[in-house]
Copies of this chain bind each other. A is one copy, B any other.
Amino acid sequence: MSIGNEMYELARELFPIDRSLTGDGVRQTLAILKRELPHLTLHEVPSGTQVFDWTVPQEWAVRQAYIEDEKGNRVVDYKQLNLHVMGYSTPVDRWVELDELKQYIYVQQGQPEAVPYVTSYYTRRYGFCMSERQRDSLKPGKYHMVIDSELFDGSLTYGELILPGTGEKEILISTYVCHPSMANNELSGPVLAVALAKTLAKQSHRKYTYRFIWIPETIGSITYLSQHLADMKKRTVAGFVLSCVGDDRTYSYIPTRKGDTLADRVARNVLSFHYPEYKKYTFLDRGSDERQYNAPGVDLPVCVVCRSKYGEYPEYHTSLDDLSVISPEGLQGAYDVYMSMLNALEHNGFYRIKCLCEPQLGKRGLYPSVSKKGAYDAVKSLVNFIAYADGEKDLIDISNIIGVPISQLIPVIAKLTEADLLECIDA
């Protein structure tokens, strides 16, 4: 089974779980991920913990929730689609007339068939979500609004996996597990993180340590940073927020605030070869945990590389973002891009040619022996790499300048290193 298919099957398994910022849905999700990655560790942070300017919220649980009409027909039911209940709804058990009911119903403007995803984490209220079409078809009469939910002091749950490398520096992979049944946003990120972690765990050598985290969005990254910031600032050379990495329509990139960190540079380099038409957003288009990682004073070099960006595809934050939006091919494409980026980072460095003037490649069988028009072209990548290997530009720079993907330069580096013509000066 291809890695794309494995990711898709895992997403399918996770899809129905009732996730929110906190609660058993998150725990069930992380338990399944732990089955895939036995070294994953789970962490609980108590409600009320102060995390920078925020407070870890109460835990939310829903036993059942529905709207019933006078005949006992369930208009909507949380058990059928967890998007029907506004996230963090307080309990309610009331009979109301249609007009009043409508005050508690959220619909998606302009998408009559879509049930929107709505939350109210930090203000106590309750509400239901349904399609505009369904709301407009409701007949006058009495309706029974039931949300059997509980908000209580519990904890916020997150998962963490550290894959140690030989050096002190590390790469952050951050994704989130707080969304109920939506696929591209956000099961694609968690399953891609699992696939990357599995592949990296099998590698015999890693220059970098990899820090993977599966957290609730916003409050999760703030909580995690409040615990780990000093260490992460010291170690992190690049990081990526994995979100919306499962469809097959395009590739997208959102830079860091600073715009030219190692994470940005490797992302732009790899995407420019993999999918030259990728969409370049600006930091003004940010929206997920890159907001926290790039906040002033936090300043971690974390950017976003995704497929169709959150907020930019029609199914976003509605019931239409289901398993048909993502595909094994879409997930595989994201996996390939991420592995290319991580590989490029592992091989990146400041290379320097060890002899003065061009080396005599001919005597080493690396150059055509007959000089005629066109002969030079055949070894262009090799001679161009040599021409720029001055110890001042890193591999990403050279790849950009000479227009050759890093994946094609890695064997060139191997040949030249073997011929004792090249050294890497890590800076």
Interface residues of A (CB under 8 A from B): 52-55, 86-87, 106, 108, 116-123, 125, 218, 221-222, 225-226, 229, 257, 283-284, 286-287, 291-292, 294-299, 311, 316-317, 352-353, 355-360, 362-363, 369-373, 376, 384, 387-391, 401-403, 421
Contacts and interface: CB of A to CB of B under 8 A. Distances in A.
Contact of A353 (B87, B108, B294, B297): B297
Contacts of A403: 284
30 contacts: A53-B359, A106-B372, A116-B372, A117-B372, A118-B370, A118-B371, A119-B370, A122-B360, A122-B362, A122-B369, A123-B369, A123-B370, A125-B370, A221-B357, A222-B358, A225-B356, A257-B388, A283-B387, A287-B376, A292-B357, A292-B358, A294-B387, A295-B356, A295-B358, A295-B387, A296-B352, A296-B389, A297-B353, A311-B373, A316-B373
A391 B296 contact: yes
Given A222-B357, A299-B390, 5 more contacts: A53-B359, A118-B370, A123-B362, A284-B402, A292-B358
A118 to B, nearest CB: 5
A360 B54 contact: yes
A48 to B, nearest CB: 14
Contacts of A402: 284
B353 A296 contact: yes
A356 B298 contact: yes
B53 A291 contact: no
A357 B391 contact: no
A362 B373 CA distance: 62
A226 B369 CA distance: 23
Nearest to A374: B109
A415 to B, nearest CB: 15
B297 A390 contact: yes
A411 to B, nearest CB: 20
A90 B294 CA distance: 67
Nearest to A289: B357
Contact of A291 (B296, B353, B358, B391): B358
A292 B387 CA distance: 9
A363 B121 CA distance: 11
Contact of A357 (B54, B86, B125, B359): B54
A226 B356 CA distance: 9
Contacts of A376: 287
Nearest to A222: B357
A283 B353 CA distance: 17
A200 B150 CA distance: 59
B355 A52 contact: yes
B120 A370 contact: yes
A106 to B, nearest CB: 7
- The 6 residue pairs across chains A and B that have the minimum distance between CB atoms: A123-B369, A296-B390, A53-B355, A122-B362, A53-B359, A222-B357
Given A283-B387, A296-B389, A352-B296, A108 B373 contact: yes
Contacts of A389: 296
A426 B353 CA distance: 35
A304 to B, nearest CB: 14
Contacts of A117: 372
- Give the most central of A54, A316, A373, A403: most B CB within 10 Å: A373
Nearest to A122: B362
Contact of A371 (B120, B299, B356): B120
A287 B359 CA distance: 15
Contacts of A373: 108, 116, 311, 316-317
Contacts of A421: 53
A341 B353 CA distance: 32
A116 B157 CA distance: 73
